[in-house]
Structure 1
């Protein structure tokens, strides 16, 4: 049985804490897509840890962790992450497995990412410049190198061949930067990576399922950044929705049981791209300040706005969401009035569907207003204790989406999660 936990907005929904909360209930936590552009924030012994590629179950001694074939792995960042995890006394090699089909991010991928973004000028997509896009392009172009290739004696030859191809592309983009230091780091990290349990991921996970083990598939980024269904072209390079679990781990669709979707009580977005409910006023600034809305990976200030139920309903539909987790509800404690986007006004028509190309139409969000609860909810521990006004806010969202909020996060702490 596989349950899926993923973000329903543009990433940064607080998935790390939620996976950490659920992890003890599962035998295996598996990452199925994305790369080091993910930033999953956990608090371990009251210390903040941000994981980028290692599954969030790594701090649980009895939980196995798998980096699946759908992920693109940067060995350098992976090594640094392992060093961080080791500081907490975790034997990361014991419970961490890596699929041999996982594609590698090379130093030249990072250079290509940077060169491509610079060449776009004002049309930048807001890349994290971690080499994710170029690595996925090599995957679909059938040029990429995979973790399993590290064990082949011809790896260095394959690497040089691909690097030469990349250098031609970099020259055409008029990008000249010495990446010698990057390469030194890379090959050092490659040797480190070889010391891990490199497995045939699809056989590994299906065997565990046959043994009756439970799997939580951990998504990165958010559904509105999906390469097919997100706000294209301002998207990531992988399928962030639940369908990506099947291709990113090698499990059949009928193995999937619950799809747990994570949404903030409001909306944020990092980088460029459409954002219908974005607030360019004092309220947006207040959301950013109270919510400490700065990217876990990039440190960039996040754009903030009211919750968008049109986009959220779309994300629930394409993912088949069965349960919702609402995070950062406590950020709304201080507001007198809350707004919820219930439809888009496009060409003088009110619509409840996400348009094909958001950047080509003028979207005016249509809101329903709610009274703020004006109560500090951070110390509350039961659904019964939640303010009545807050329950009305959540009930409206439940009814609109046809999916119920099953948990509400009322603070960053591990214990600040209320089951409804």
Structure 2
């Protein structure tokens, strides 16, 4: 049985939760390997809609073991609130596992996040203010607090002192804010230890043994390719590796145990927060896509920026992730359009001021920020595809559009989202063998 990685192929919000749900009951484990509670997945089961933020989408399936890997930063209070919300709706969350090596988001990380973002002004990144970036910065700066640190108060206090030493200097002297109290912080963190402890495990060891025993594991990425801290539109990115390589570092499983990499793309494209977005539609068409697609953030409620499908972004996602399959979501949203534009290239301004056509993603972010899209277009369709059960039932124009996106992306499209419901997805090729 395979190790499968599932990642967003655009700027996030592509419908990864639905794609996970499609194969979630066919695997033994579902692992979140990056991000924090700034990520959001919506899973629709029958008449029930579940908005998941920190938890893996597989938690909805009773026979799946959900895992929060070491690459995730965990806000314990946010985790408990999400667990309480699911359990109040009858979802059994008792089999959740949390890596003992995952880093904790402390209250001071949220403080630093909000203060820094305000200080940046017009240069702000557009964070959610939940402390994710500062927690990852603590991790890289080697002053982070990991889950297993919570269970030894003396050790925890030493960690908090080390972490707050520089932060308090910065808060007081740079931002003119009050210093954060060490003992109060230690008490806050120690207070969550007892409730968290039953979920804590050496998840790297567990997952490797599971794969060796022939179990199937789905590694679920938060955010998406274009938000990856190394491969995204830096600096307007998240603070973790959302691409397929992050599944290995974020779970403690080696790359030779990954058999398939699935990317999820919308049939158009959206983005939340700051940063360049070549096909963005700041007009009635963009608002139409927003309303038709219900494009508002699961975690934040922020309206998403909307634009036409960008083939360069998708080709880039295929390249950096090594995608074997694409799940194309929200094709139904495009129903009713007379023609459907899609981006096949950019006109960019070079460093010397000259202009050039670019048919692949520019690596220079200044060039990318200057990019204006070159469009092609295809005829649309009016037939409602939401109830259709096979690709052959789709109107010919919809089939032609899918085939064109497949050709432009350089990767097969194996499933298509034809509506918001759990059963409104059409499989063309199997996603799990």
Q: Settle same-fold status: TM greater than 0.5.
A: yes
Q: List aligned pairs for 1:299-378, cutoff 5 A.
A: 299-347=301-349, 348-360=355-367, 361-378=369-386
Deviation at 1:153, TM superposition (A): 3.7
CA deviation digits over 1:279-326, x for unaligned, max 9? 111101100111111111111111000000011100111000001101
* Counterpart-to-counterpart distance in 2, 1:169 and 1:353: 42
Give the one of 379, 397, 421 matched to 1:413. Answer: 421
CA contact (8 A) 1:265 1:327 kept: yes
Give the one of 274, 283, 286 matched to 1:284. Answer: 286
| Structure 2 CA distance for partners of 1:169 and 1:84, relative to 1, 3 Å | same
Q: List aligned pairs for 1:220-259, cutoff 5 A.
A: 220-259=222-261
Q: Which moved more, 1:276-285 or 1:344-353?
A: 344-353
* Counterpart-to-counterpart distance in 1, 2:106 and 2:132: 10
| Structure 2 CA distance for partners of 1:114 and 1:244, relative to 1, 3 Å | same
CA contact (8 A) 1:107 1:183 kept: no
The match for 2:173 is: 172
* Counterpart-to-counterpart distance in 1, 2:122 and 2:257: 44
* Counterpart-to-counterpart distance in 1, 2:107 and 2:186: 6
Determine whether 1:64 maps to 2:65.
yes
* Counterpart-to-counterpart distance in 2, 1:356 and 1:337: 31
* Counterpart-to-counterpart distance in 2, 1:177 and 1:376: 58
Q: Secondary structure at the match of 1:92?
A: coil
| Structure 2 CA distance for partners of 1:173 and 1:42, relative to 1, 3 Å | farther
Deviation at 1:90, TM superposition (A): 2.5
Deviation at 1:177, TM superposition (A): 6.5
CA contact (8 A) 1:107 1:179 kept: no
CA deviation digits over 1:239-290, x for unaligned, max 9? 1000001101111111111101000000100010000000111101100111
| TM-score, normalised with respect to structure 2 | 0.93
Q: List aligned pairs for 1:99-248, cutoff 5 A.
A: 99-161=99-161, 162-174=163-175, 176=177, 187-194=190-197, 196-248=198-250
Give the one of 412, 416, 419 matched to 1:404. Answer: 412
CA contact (8 A) 2:25 2:61 kept: yes
CA contact (8 A) 1:6 1:15 kept: yes
State the 4+ residue runs in structure 1 displaced beyond 6 angstroms: 177-185
Q: Secondary structure at the match of 1:227?
A: coil
Deviation at 1:44, TM superposition (A): 3.6
User: How many equivalent pairs are there?
Assistant: 418
CA deviation digits over 1:50-93, x for unaligned, max 9? 11111111121111111100000000100000001102222312
Q: Secondary structure at the match of 1:121?
A: helix
Deviation at 1:175, TM superposition (A): 5.2
CA contact (8 A) 2:21 2:43 kept: yes
Query: Where in structure 2 are there 5+ consecutive unaligned residues?
Result: 350-354, 429-433
Q: Secondary structure at the match of 2:51?
A: strand
* Counterpart-to-counterpart distance in 2, 1:315 and 1:114: 31
| TM-score, normalised with respect to structure 1 | 0.95
